[in-house]
Amino acid sequence: MSDPADMAALLGQPVADMHPLHGGDLSAVFAVTLADGDRVAVKRGPLVAVEGRMLAAMAQARAPVPRVLAQAGDLLALDWLKETRPAPDAWADLGQALRALHGQTGDSYGWSEAYAFGTAPIRNAPQDDWPTFWAENRLLALAPTDAALAKRVEALAACLPDLLPAAPPAALLHGDLWAGNVLFSGPRAWLIDPACYYGDPEVDLAMLHLFGQPGPGFADAYGPLPDGWQARRPVYTLWPALVHLRLFGGGYRDMVAGLLDACGV
């Protein structure tokens, strides 16, 4: 449990109430009510300062993200977003917002800081060649301990120059865009818990389709994808599957094997 005194020092006033929220795989999350009645979300974890900088970069690109209120040490305070049912146009709004986020581009692939999902490292060392980035910083960095699967991942990594574009737009990515990191509040869909870097926009879309489908209006609002996206999708979906295998164990082995089948290795 976090110390209310730490929260009060961060936010500049006493804490009237606080309780933990669900989730918290990467950081503990708390709903904090202040003495003046305002409510904020506070995250506690070793990488919250990096997350705060990611949220600031996304906000500069006009993405719908919670506002950073304060950050110090291992604490990050954010605007409170009350979760609601999706509004009729919320998925279309998300499609437009994600297209705008991906319109913000960088000079190379990667990010200025490394990140992690718990014990799963996220290497972000910049690369000018996209297949090299995806091979070294994503697939090989999380190669399974299962020798047979690892051999197949290595074989796929060697084939990436034939499967992925060498120089897609280096778009600003959310980086962990599964459905649980889309929060509906009021009329909008908000993006939370980023793991940002610059890369192929199709990465975010692959992740968003991993455990379900975006709602009505999303695809039309986002717009068309480059030819061949269907063949690339399992290559991009494989990385979050490897993350889940690393973090949660053998229950995800069949998912990884199936995606490798779809990749043709």
pLDDT band, very low/low/confident/very high, at 2 (cuts 50, 70, 90): low
Asked whether residue 26 falls in the same domain as residue 101, the answer is: no
What are the pLDDT digits (tens) for 98-151? 999 999 999 999 999 999 998 899 999 999 999 999 999 999 999 999 999 999
Q: Give me the CATH number covering residue 257.
A: 3.90.1200.10
User: Environment class of residue 28 by beta-carbon count within 10 Å: exposed (0-12), middle (13-18) or buried (19+)?
Assistant: middle
Asked whether residue 106 falls in the same domain as residue 128, the answer is: yes
pLDDT at 212: 87
CB atoms within 10 A of CB 244: 20
- CA pair distance 117, 120, nearest whole angstrom: 5
Domain boundary among 46, 79, 112: 79
Asked whether residue 13 falls in the same domain as residue 66, the answer is: yes
pLDDT at 244: 95
Answer whether residue 84 is part of any domain. Answer: no
- Please state, rounded to an integer, the average pLDDT across all residues of the chain: 95
pLDDT at 73: 94
Asked whether residue 190 falls in the same domain as residue 64, the answer is: no
Antiparallel, parallel or unpaired: β 75-79 and 28-34: unpaired
Asked whether residue 132 falls in the same domain as residue 15, the answer is: no
Answer whether residue 115 is part of any domain. Answer: yes
Q: What is the pTM of this model?
A: 0.95
Q: Give me the CATH number covering residue 14.
A: 3.30.200.20
pLDDT at 23: 63
- DSSP-assigned letter for residue 179: G
Give the residue numbers annotated as catalytic, written as ranges.
Answer: 176
Residue 22: pLDDT over 90 = no
Residue 211: pLDDT over 80 = yes
Q: What is the number of structural domains in the chain?
A: 2
Q: Please give the single-letter amino acid code of residue 242.
A: L
pLDDT band, very low/low/confident/very high, at 24 (cuts 50, 70, 90): low
The parent domain of residue 251 ranges over 90-263
Beta-strand ranges (E) seen in 80-170 are: 115-117, 120-122
Asked whether residue 104 falls in the same domain as residue 144, the answer is: yes
Cβ proximity of 63 and 102 under 8 Å: no
Domain boundary among 23, 50, 79: 79
Asked whether residue 63 falls in the same domain as residue 191, the answer is: no
Answer whether residue 85 is part of any domain. Answer: no
